[in-house]
Structure 1
Amino acid sequence: MNNQLKLELLNHEYWWGGAVSDGVSMPYGNSEFARQLNPAYTPNQANPLLISNKGRYIWSDKPYNFEFRDGFLNIFDCDGEINKGEGFENLRAVYSAVQERYFPAKGQMLEPLMFTAPQYNTWIELMYDQKEDKILEYAEAIINNGMPPGILMIDDNWQEDYGVWEFHPGRFQKPKKMIERLHELGFKVMLWTCPFVSPDSATYRLLADKDYLIKNKNGSIAIREWWNGYSAVLDLTNPHAVAWYKSKLDYLVNEYGVDGFKFDAGDPMYYRNDDQCEISIHANEHAEYFAKFGMQFTLNEFRACWKMAGEPIGQRLCDKLHSWDTNGLGSLIPNGLAQGLMGYAFTCPDMIGGGEYQNFIANSERLDQELFVRYAQCSALFPMMQFSAAPWRILDQEHFQYCLAAANLHQQFGEEILALAHHAADSGEPIIRHMAFSFPDEEFARVNDQFMLGDHILVAPVVEKGAIERIIHFPVGTWQGDDGSIIEGPCKLNVHAPLSRLPWYRKQS
């Protein structure tokens, strides 16, 4: 079995793949880089795939570690066979080949509203204070401030406890009427859920007796630390545990009219390779089982995933900081492009303004309004966009109007984005595409701050503080801008982009 590999890099060869959170370091090959995928302790999606602009690829059905060093790509610590391919014409050709072979498109779609309208999450606005009256107030404020309705996600702490998927009676008096009202306002409603179960509870004792919980290597029930404390973990390799979990979510759908779910906290970091489960699997594969469970609902969202490219799953980027750097706004485009090149087409950037709540709270008295606007603009022509903090509350009127314009732009492009989503479901091609994917012959491999929406819309958000202009790389062809300008490519231009403008261009020929 070939479970390690050393590959000499070609001249001007660049690579993408591995972990989505490393998109800010892609393309690899120009400097030293290393990543552990065995197991993948990263906060976002991952895939055991590496592809290059010179038409080469690496794939394994099992996780591996890799490094770029001294002109070589080294693959090691793989539990399975490493597959190498070469001879494909360019980045698009090699992506198409590996996608067709290893994660073929299923032809299945998500809920269309995920693409045609903005999403709104209650997390930053309400955090752990999820209450019926406040959720309705938030939803009605969205409408009253002229923003288009879309998906409304009710985040963590709506439930009685982890593993008790019922509305908390102290915070929700009439949850069914609440959801009916949200539907009347034009929203579809998602609820937050996770595979964890609070210990020292009746549910824990029930599931322990049924042997539905993951055990440590010594046979005792595993209690894992995560951001909300310590919990047991459902064994989703056990079909009876899966059926129990599904029955709880189906009840919420049938009894209250819930439309879908945000599936959170299924990261590989909460599992061990030697955990005792119904089926013996690698730590990464638990995230895969969680995703397979969640995609039973056409309205779903995941943040962590493994080897589920090509599947009908909404994939959000991990929580970002309220910052301009590569832990914040600066990561949205490169990491979103990485998602697409790993086969995760149905992508959503993080909550606008940054969804890492502790950082957001720390900055709450000095929020950067310019940053918030540029977050919204950068998200507007992604496949999905998601608000959480209420822009009408935290911004002055001028900055709020810029965010409103970004939300309206997304809605205006809704049917076009939806058509690209259908195409992605059928073909496996990304919705937002790296410049080197759409124009492989024009040396765009290292252009990471603009993207293509399909093959005909070039999007170039401003992602630097204080900037009112930016350099845009135009491929060959005629491009008509949002400002009415006509650009003949190929060329590189410095374009005027005040805070009121998200530069985008449509290919005419």
Structure 2
Amino acid sequence: MVRLRDGMWLTAENFRVEYAENVYEITPSEDQRALSLLCPTKNIKSRGDTLNQPTVTVDLRAEFDGVISVEATHWAGAQNKGPHFDLFPAGRPDAAADTVGTITRGPAGTTLASGALAVTVHPDPHTFDLRFHSAADPARQVTSLGHRSAGFAYTPAPSTPMQTGDMRDFAHYMFLQTNLAVGESVHGLGERFGAWNKVGQAVTLWNADGGTSSDQAYKNVPFWLSSKGYGVFIDTTGRVEMEVGSERCCRVQTTVRSQRLKMYIIYGPRPKDVLARYAVLTGRANRVPSWSFGLWLTTSFTTNYDEATVNSFLEGMRDRGAPVDVFHYDCFWMKAFAWTDFVFDSERFPDPQGQISRLKASGLCKKVCVWINPYIAQHGAAFAHAAARGYLLKRKNGDVWQWDLWQAGMGLVDITNPDAVAWYVGCLNGLFDKGVDALKTDFGERIPTQDVQWFDAAVDPDKMHNWYSFEYNRIVYEALQARFGPEQAVVFARSATAGCQRFPLQWGGDCESTPEALAESVRGGLSLGRWVAMGLLCSHSRLHGSNSYRVPWLVDEDDAGEQGCSRTLAKWAALKNRLMPYIMAQAEESVAGGIPLSLRAVALEFPEDPTAWYLDRQFMLGSQLLAAPVFEESGEVDFYLPRGRWTSFFTNEVKSGPGWFRERHDFGSLPLYVRENTVLVLGKRGVSGVGYDYAEDVEVCLYQTQPGAKAAVVSNEGEALGELVVDADGKVTGTLVLKGDFTISEAGRSIDGDAPVSIEVL
């Protein structure tokens, strides 16, 4: 944590802080897309004041419609080593648009417009004030950089500028402070497990393996979203220190150890618009195959298992009504002390290729996933080969970088070495040859920064720390694409940074099986038993444990009752199977819009509702379903419904929002409400698995629909087949795309034949 101030009046101990005080000179670019501000750190009243005087250069650039970048620089001669974010991966939007890059001068100051967003520099040169506002309505302020909001700092504080001739004993920081309006809330910054609204929190963006119950995070993303309809992307792969309304209650302070700091101000005005523009900057998610939405079962972390164990699990799941789509072999498919050497433990798996082939042929699962990471243990078959060829990260003295944390003598694949990458991909292809279809890319957070020498000597070790997760997941994802096709690749990643959404999926990290941890995971998902219900209302669902098997019959001595684990799992798996026509159609919208599919914040759908920006115990599944997990053993749950009519998925009871409600549920239900004006397409009751035809024998359910309400019909690979639309007479048109014996339910779905549920309104 880096704090520059000691309260309002004092500088923090051992710091010297310099602020941009004036805008001495404004220089427009020749293309009229940028302004460069020369900003001394004291008021310039005479020419003599320009001597022995630090300056901060603030560069403003119109990037594309609705986005303006701000870069503050102290010493421009400092190297700007990589790695850098891979921005605009699909290409930069057309810069020739007339509305992008216009500069005007007037009584209010100098204004740079970039489509919907503009920034105005105050006309008084002795007033440092940059106001970001709607280009169409300058009175609609987005945010601002006001008095003493940009600058740099040294620690320890030099007593004379002469000391800065040798910077080896000084740390140098750049900072920017955007204004927080009254009542404004801040969300994002990756996967964070505390309160969803980050105002009042200090956040360090530095990937760490800290579980899901601390201020550390596996997925640190330097992007945050404001309830005022804008977002900020911080363009550095290095460590970022955030003070979100904490050091100064009315500001978000961003600090980096560097000579420059660049961020993008991204306008909405709706949060979905912000996320769409963020996706232009950092990339959109790719499609994932329909089989990946099915139920995943794992061997769990430290358990003992072999082919017989695996078969017994999969047979038991099938026989209890919860067939598995993807089976996952966790760590001990390899021998102890040998991770990751890509070699199946020959004692337990003497014929891995044959075993995987038999699993698929028997129908016990459709696909197989195995656990990997980029850490190479000294005692595994891969280490000596990789070390001898320079594929592992080295220390500055030429030794292989090793430690005994996690694996004895562990080395790290040097992803800056093209030959190392090619070798690693070759190892992955060996797994694909054995029948492996997907990979869990675990770890990738503990990347050293001290006493290291990367193959690419031009990279900054500090910046490699977070960036490693991007390259690691990219390498594996692209290997899967090359083998199975561009839209058949699935990774199950734990670490991530900005841009990793291009390589789906991400899982939530190592959590405990407690109600509190369930809440942490919901908050973590909002920011990137009861667990079964919540998990199967996520886009992707896996049963996983640590030192115990996670099959339901071992939890409750195979209780066959309606409230037993096996029946509970079967009911929720069946519900997700039925929802797949809706989920797959929503997935296509999510990819196109750069927005989450499940664990979608309610505020993304209802940004005008102030309460929605504080809801971190419930979420949207797509745009039309709202879910509230149950955290209490009693089954009691409080939840909020925004304005409109909402229908219980389980009972068809209708509630009107906005308002708070309380219900008591057993294990077979939770508050799952359908938004009004919804056309919900459900698969046939009793369908097994997720790989069926999403247009055949479906039920089309209408929920308080008005003319024009519609739903997309897609194939089980996400291809658009057509659209169902409610006409002026309340009838559904477009049904020619449907097959078989489809039905239309005009007042919610048919609940005849459902398993009984117990929902008590309190």
Q: TM-score range by the shorter chain?
A: 0.7 to 0.9
Give the 5 Å matches for 1:355-374. Answer: 373-374=529-530
Match of 1:334 among 523, 530, 547: 523
Q: 1:402 aligns with which of 549, 553, 568?
A: 568
2:198 matched residue in structure 1: 28
Q: Contact 1:225 / 1:270 at 8 angstroms: preserved in 2?
A: no
Which position in structure 1 is the counterpart of 2:242?
66
Tell me the distance in 2 between the aligned counterparts of 1:210 and 1:495: 62
1:454 to 622, 630, 634: 622
Pairwise CA distance, 1:201: 5.3
Equivalent residue, structure 2, for 1:81: 261
More divergent stretch after superposition (432-441 vs 88-97): 88-97
Contact 2:590/2:597, CA 8 A, preserved across alignment: yes
1:57-83 C-alpha deviation (Å, 9 max, x unpaired):
222221311012131211112545331
CA contact (8 A) 2:232 2:266 kept: no
Structure 2 counterpart of 1:422, one-letter code: E
State how far apart, in whole Å, the 2-side matches of 1:469 and 1:416 are. 28
Structure-1 residue corresponding to 2:695: none
Counterparts in 2 of 1:111-126, with a 5 A limit?
Answer: 111-115=289-293, 117-123=294-300
Does the 8 Å contact 2:267/2:273 carry over to 1? no
Q: Which residue does 2:477 correspond to in 1?
A: 295
Q: Does 1:9 align with 2:155?
A: no
Aligned CA distance change for structure 1 residues 158 and 186 (closer, same or farther; 3 Å)? closer
Determine the structure 2 residue equivalent to 1:378.
534
Which amino acid is the alignment partner of residue 196 of structure 2?
M
Gaps of 5+ in 1: 340-372
Q: Residues 191-230 of structure 1 correspond to what in structure 2 (within 5 A)?
A: 191-199=370-378, 203-230=382-409
Instruction: Find out whether 1:471 has 2:471 as its counterpart.
Output: no
Residue 238 (structure 1) shift: 1.3
Q: What amino acid does structure 2 have at the position aligned with 1:295?
A: Y
Higher Cα Rg: structure 1 or 2? 2
Who is 1:45 aligned against? 219
C-alpha displacement at 1:495, in angstroms? 2.8
Answer yes or no: is 1:18 the counterpart of 2:186: no
Output the CA distance in 2 between the equivalents of 1:87 and 1:188.
42
Tell me the alpha carbon deviations over residues 54-107 of structure 1, each in whole angstroms, 9 at most, x when there is no partner. 12322222131101213121111254533142653243332233232x22315x
More deviation, 81-90/169-178: 81-90
Aligned counterparts of 1:377 and 1:143: Cα–Cα separation in 2: 19
User: Which of the pair is proportionally richer in helix?
Assistant: 1
TM-score calculated relative to the size of structure 1: 0.86
Q: Is the 8 A contact 1:4 1:82 kept in 2?
A: no
Q: Within 2, Cα distance between the matches of 1:425 and 1:95?
A: 11
Change (3 A) 1:309 1:165: closer
Please give the per-residue CA displacement for 1:203-245, whole angstroms capped at 9, x wherever unaligned. Answer: 3222122110001233321113433444111112211111111
**Compared CA separation, residues 200 and 178, structure 1 to 2 (3 A):** closer
One-letter amino acid of the structure 2 residue matched with residue 450 of structure 1 = Q
The secondary structure found in structure 2 opposite 1:147 is coil
Partner of 2:68: none
- Counterpart code for 2:581: E
Q: Tell me if structure 2 keeps the 8 A contact 1:142–1:149.
A: yes
Q: 1:462/1:207 Cα in 2 relative to 1: closer, same or farther (>3 Å)?
A: same
Alignment RMSD: 2.1
1:134-153 to structure 2, matched below 5 A, reads 134-153=309-328
The within-5 A match list for 1:341-360 is none
Q: Which residue of 1 aligns with 2:543?
A: 387
Assess, with a 3 A threshold, how the Cα gap between structure 1 residues 323 and 40 changes in structure 2: closer, same or farther.
closer
Q: Which moved more, 1:86-95 or 1:226-235?
A: 86-95
Match of 2:537, as an amino acid?
L
**Match in the other structure for 1:109:** 287
How far does the alpha carbon of each residue in 1:363-403 deviate from its partner, in whole angstroms, 9 at most, with x for none? xxxxxxxxxx1111111211111113111221233321222
How far off is 1:259 after superposition? 1.1
Moved more, 388-397 or 454-463: 388-397
Aligned to 1:186: 365
Which structure 2 residue ranges, 5 or more long, are not aligned?
A: 1-70, 73-173, 210-215, 481-488, 545-549, 678-762
Q: Return the alpha-carbon distance in structure 2 between the equivalents of residues 493 and 420 of structure 1.
A: 27
Q: Which residue of 1 aligns with 2:584?
A: 418
Q: 1:104–1:263: structure 2 CA closer, same or farther, 3 Å change rule?
A: closer
Residues 475 and 273 of structure 1: is their aligned pair in 2 closer, same or farther, counting only changes over 3 Å?
farther
Higher deviation after alignment, 377-386 or 60-69: 60-69
In the alignment, does 2:663 pair up with 1:507?
Answer: no
Indicate the structure whose relative CO is greater, using CA pairs within 8 Å and at least 6 residues apart: 1
What is the one-letter code of the residue matched to 1:392?
W
